[in-house]
Amino acid sequence: MKQKDSRILNKRKRTLTKRLKRRQWPEQTRPMFQAKNIHYGADRIQAIDCGGIGAFHALACNSGLVKANNQKVELLKRHLPYHESDHVLNIAYNTLTGGTCLDDIELRRNNGTYMDALGAQRIPDPTTAGDFTRRFSETDVEALMEAINKVRPKMWNKHLKESERTEAIVDLDGSLAPPTGECKEGMGISYNGI
């Protein structure tokens, strides 16, 4: 490794350590995750394997999902430093970026470029995310669903013409159901014969 590259990597490591250092945060008036002006290009800059995360976060902010989430879901008494939307989006983004469990958040937390893409000084660690999920009750899940449902019609009305809003077809592949095969061309069979 070149000496210059070594210096750059060591500087990034020190910056990340300083960024994640434990400290007493004051009450936050805004969520930690902020929309940032991300540019996608081929310049020699920092990059991440989940480059679309900035676009996902901009969509969440611009659609009003972040605001609706913070209004409907009231789990935290004080926001030191995270809001409810920060926790929910942190878990969602972990899944979007290939995470399979809450422990995978630590990989994203130790990636300064990922946090820069979200416009966040820091993101919740896996233990904090676990504490947040354990606080959820059935009414909190319903409140989160209501926040999402509050935003969905706005997206339909805002981005679709009147003629396009008459019917929606959602094609999902979430569950296995044995088909009869009468009207199913190219029917697939799972490992157990269903």
Tens-digit pLDDT profile for residues 97-147: 989 999 999 999 888 888 888 888 889 999 999 999 999 899 999 999 999
Angle at 80 between CA 74 and CA 81, to 5 degrees: 100
What is the pLDDT averaged over residues 80-86? Answer: 89
Question: What is the reported pLDDT for 13?
Answer: 81
9 — pLDDT class (breaks 50, 70, 90):
confident
Question: What is the reported pLDDT for 105?
Answer: 93
Cis peptide before 126 (omega within 30 of 0): no
Tell me the two tokens of residue 93. Answer: 């983004």
191 — pLDDT class (breaks 50, 70, 90):
low
Check whether 189 has a pLDDT greater than 70. no
CB 90 within 8 A of CB 105: yes
- Find, among 76, 105, 74, the residue nearest to 89 by Cα: 105
Among 15-19, 58-62, 173-177, 188-192, which is the least confidently predicted range?
Answer: 173-177
Check whether 93 has a pLDDT greater than 70. yes
CB 38 within 8 A of CB 55: yes
86 — pLDDT class (breaks 50, 70, 90):
very high
CB 76 within 8 A of CB 85: no
Tell me the two tokens of residue 149. Answer: 């449902």
Question: What is the reported pLDDT for 31?
Answer: 83
What mean pLDDT, rounded, does the chain reach?
A: 81
Could you say which DSSP state residue 21 is in? -
What is the pLDDT averaged over residues 160-164? Answer: 74
Neighbours of 171 (CB within 10 A): 4
